[in-house]
Amino acid sequence: MQQSIAVVTGASRGIGQAIAQALVEANYFVVASATSESGVAAIQEYLGEKGTAFVLNLADKDSCAQFTEQVNALGAVSVLVNNAGITKDTLMLRMKDEDWDSVIETNLSGAFRLTKSFLKGMMKQRWGRIVNISSVVGAMGNPGQANYCASKAGIEGFTRSLAYELGSRGITVNAVAPGFIATDMTHELTEDQKQAMMANIPLGRYGEADEIAKAVRFLASDDAAYITGQVLGVNGGLNMG
Ligand code: NAP
């Protein structure tokens, strides 16, 4: 039997890499993305024969179209993990249009484009799993992250709406909202910011990329067949809402 295909965006490092590896363990053929050829080579190195990778810039419509064409040529996609995301943090008064636009385009519009391109294949199979990576701040808000929080609140609304639309087709749509995970993205925070964050985490530690990946793998599995339209917080208790 041909292996099912799982797509993971932004898998050159961090949480995306952990998700790609977890889905390989779940026996998927993983198709992953990076923004550069060197990132693609890095992914190919850890995936080996268990998957492949292509360049993708979610903020660029042509790049999204090319990526989806390359993936669709391999077969129908069963699992889509919209993981790739960026931050452009600054207080609102200093936030430039391009800081707003690039974060919304990458984190939200890019997910819309990819999801739309892979839907037909999932609908034909009458089985599919879409997992969107949000953030704890999508619900909580965070000073200096109006653009990022808007993109993540948007992805949660997108998740619920799609869950309504696709439920009858055997496709579940959920989000995972990580708390503070040690990756390049959080590396940029100051020690003071990290300490302040830690004080509010009941489990008293940052999360590991692998802990997000395990939640995604569960939502992508048959065991999660009756779960849709949910936002699963994986945040050490930082937000219990
Ligand atoms: P990361 O280490 O900064 O990695 C980001 C990934 O996204 C990389 O693979 C990067 O590719 C890719 N990417 C960047 N810009 C892109 C674009 N324009 N088009 C397509 N791909 C692009 O981030 P991370 O911490 O693993 O975060 C992964 C997801 O988790 C994001 O959605 C993030 O918002 C969310 N999240 C993270 C945390 C956390 O604490 N780390 C918390 C909550 C939510 P290149 O390597 O080619 O640049």
Whether the CB of 14 sits within 6 Å of ligand 1: yes
Q: Name the pTM for this structure.
A: 0.98
Give the CA dihedral 59, 11, 229, 215, nearest 10 degrees: -160
- The percentage of residues in the chain with a pLDDT greater than 90, rounded to a whole number, is 92
Nearest to 171 by CA among 216, 217, 134, 219: 219
Q: How far, in Å, from the CA of 85 to the mean position of ligand 1?
A: 4
In which band, very low, low, confident or very high, does the pLDDT at 157 lie, cut at 50, 70 and 90?
Answer: very high
Whether the CB of 34 sits within 6 Å of ligand 1: yes
- The percentage of residues in the chain with a pLDDT greater than 70, rounded to a whole number, is 100
CA–CA gap between residue 191 and residue 195 (Å, rounded): 6
Give tens-digit pLDDT for 65-76.
999 999 999 999
Known catalytic residue at 164? no
Give tens-digit pLDDT for 189-236.
788 878 888 999 999 999 999 999 999 999 999 999 999 999 999 999
**Atom from ligand 1 closest to the CA of residue 105:** 18
Residue 169: strand pairing partners? none
Check residue 1 and give its pLDDT: 53
Nearest to 104 by CA among 143, 139, 68, 153: 153
Average pLDDT over residues 78-92: 98
Whether the CB of 83 sits within 6 Å of ligand 1: yes
How much is the CA Rg of the chain, to the nearest whole Å?
A: 17
Q: List Cβ neighbours of 233 (8 Å cut-off, separation of 6 or more).
A: 136, 177, 179, 239, 240
